[in-house]
Structures are given as C-alpha cells and as structure tokens.
Amino acid sequence: MRQRRRIAVYGVCRDEAGRLLLVHGSARNDLPSAWSLPGGGLEHGERPYAGAIREFAEETGLDVEITGLHSIVADLSVPGHRQFVIHTDRVLYDVKVTGGELCDEVGGTSDRAAWIEPGDLAGLRLMPYLSRLVGLPTDGREIPAAAPHRDPTATRIQRFAAYGLVTDPAGRILLTRIAAGYPGAGTWHLPGGGTDFGEQPTTGLLRELVEETDQLGRVTGLLGVTDYHNPRAMGPERRPMDWHTVRALYRVVVDVPSQPSVVEAAGGSTAEARWFTAADLGKVRLNEFAKGAIARNLG
C-alpha cells in the first residue's frame, strides 16, 4: 500500500436546539454510509475558509458564514479499494446558516443532510474524526503500513504545515532564517514546517521546533489558519512548482530557553535560529507570514 495525503475543510453547525448538522456518505464516499460534518477536499489554490463555505453549500444547500476556527486534526484511513493509506488534515470551522434551503446532494460523496440530536449520535456510524470530536469511541481499526509515494515529475504540490509563534518567559520571540535555495531565502520566518505522514499538527510543530532551533516547547493554543499559493515557486528542485501550502499557526511557549541551534540534517531549509526582543524585530527582514502573525497576535 502507498501513502497519500489530502487537506479537507468542514463546517461545525448547530441550531438553536443544539442539533448538529451532518451529512451521510454515499456509495461514492471513501467510507460509505458513515456520517460526517458537511465539507470535503480543498481544491488546489483555494482559501480554506472559502472551501468550507463551498463544500457546505454543495452538500446541504445552505449558505453559511464562518464565525471562528473550531480545531485542526489529522487522521489516517483506508478507502474501500485499499490501494492507499490516506492522511487527511482536517480544518474545522464554526459556521452559522445565513440562507438557502436544506437539501440532499445529488451525485456527490454524500446523499443526505440532516439535523441530528446529540443523544442520537452514539447510534450512528460516524467518521472516526467526528467520533473523537463528539467524545465517542472509534472502531479502533488498525491502519496498515504504507510506503511513501512521491512523483519526481510533479509540478503541483499541496502541503499542510504547522508553525509556531514561539516566545519565552522574558517575552522574546524565536525566529528562523530561511536557507539559500529555498523560497524566501535570507528572510526570518516562524519555526515550523510540513507535517509528516500520520502526524498531528501540534506533534509536527514541536518536532520541527527541535530540529530547527533545539528548543523544547509546549503548545498553548491555536491562533489561526492561512494559506499561501505561488504558481511558480522556485525551490531546491530548481524548476517552477505550483505550490499551495495550508499553514496552521499555534502559540508556543519555551519555558526553559537556551541558545538556539539548527540540528536538522545539512541541506535543510533553516540556516540559523535566534531569539529576538520586540525592539529587535524592526531591524531584521521578516517574511510576510511572520510579519502578519506577529502583528495580529503580539502587536
């Protein structure tokens, strides 16, 4: 079996009575007859919030407004044809209905949309991620091992990554400098990077923090999710790549800071790591992602 990855977006919607809006998987679904939140795969280059709104309308007939970021989770599954083990990074938004009329999707991966009473959830077959979300046990199915699958000729990449706004007790901010040969080379960036197959976003972030800075951190909260699309990104491949990254941003604290050091293997994307005071930030060249994250959350 081979590994495959996807990014999916969903809406968590409850009515005034506390019922949860769910959709039932059709025969075309990877897990037929299982209930899920309205949502589905994010298209290449699509904004995560826009994908959630689009998928919600397609599967329920309802127009919704994003009211907040609920959570981000990852899981492994094996579709019916059993050729792949699929790692899905799921971005869940809180939403409220603003219009439309509830109806079932026709010809898609769902075939019914319904408001479900909380007490009825335990009697339904739920997608494993949804079972965990509502506090119910999963089936405990064992996921088989799968081999990495990379196409060396691929020119379009969609990646999920996790980054940290990392501070110490003195209020300093930890940043990393991007190495030569990578997009944004020479600019200062937030610690983090692409998550590994089977890895939760927070686990991947703390691993990247050690590899890039040699610091041990703890995640204290989820700050947001953004994306970046560059149809002609130049990286180590030395050819243009249509690159779409979805980036989860977390608040991280390093309780016992030390002198940062890059410990990842030579040739990686990090050239240097350093602690900065707030006053220092105006003297260094930040990339747009780091600049925006700091301004929104620490400014």
pLDDT at residue number 238? 74
pLDDT at residue number 32? 87
Q: Is the pLDDT of residue 4 over 80?
A: yes
Beta bridge partners of 84: 2
Cβ proximity of 273 and 175 under 8 Å: yes
70-119 pLDDT, tens digit per residue, is 999 999 998 876 788 999 999 999 999 999 999 999 999 999 999 999 99
- Going from N- to C-terminal start, the domains of the chain cover 2-133, 156-298
What mean pLDDT do residues 43-58 have? 98
Please report which confidence band the pLDDT of residue 7 belongs to, taking 50, 70 and 90 as the band edges: very high
Is 2-133's fold the same as 156-298's?
Answer: yes
The two tokens of residue 151 are: 């196409």
What mean pLDDT do residues 17-33 have? 93
pTM, entire model: 0.94
What span, in angstroms and rounded, lies between the C-alpha atoms of 15 and 207?
Answer: 39
pLDDT at residue number 149? 81
CATH 3.30.70.980 fits 156-298, yes or no: no
Q: Is the pLDDT of residue 183 over 90?
A: no
pLDDT at residue number 141? 76
Q: Is the pLDDT of residue 122 over 90?
A: yes
Cβ proximity of 190 and 177 under 8 Å: no
Please report which confidence band the pLDDT of residue 289 belongs to, taking 50, 70 and 90 as the band edges: very high
Of the candidates 137, 251, 230, the one whose C-alpha atom is nearest the C-alpha of residue 184 is 230
| Architecture of the domain made up of 2-133 | Alpha-Beta Complex (3.90)
213-267 pLDDT, tens digit per residue, is 999 999 999 999 999 999 988 767 678 889 999 999 999 999 999 999 999 876 6
What span, in angstroms and rounded, lies between the C-alpha atoms of 209 and 192?
Answer: 6
Q: Is the pLDDT of residue 121 over 90?
A: yes
Point out the least confidently predicted range of 26-40, 136-150, 178-192: 136-150
Cβ proximity of 87 and 74 under 8 Å: yes
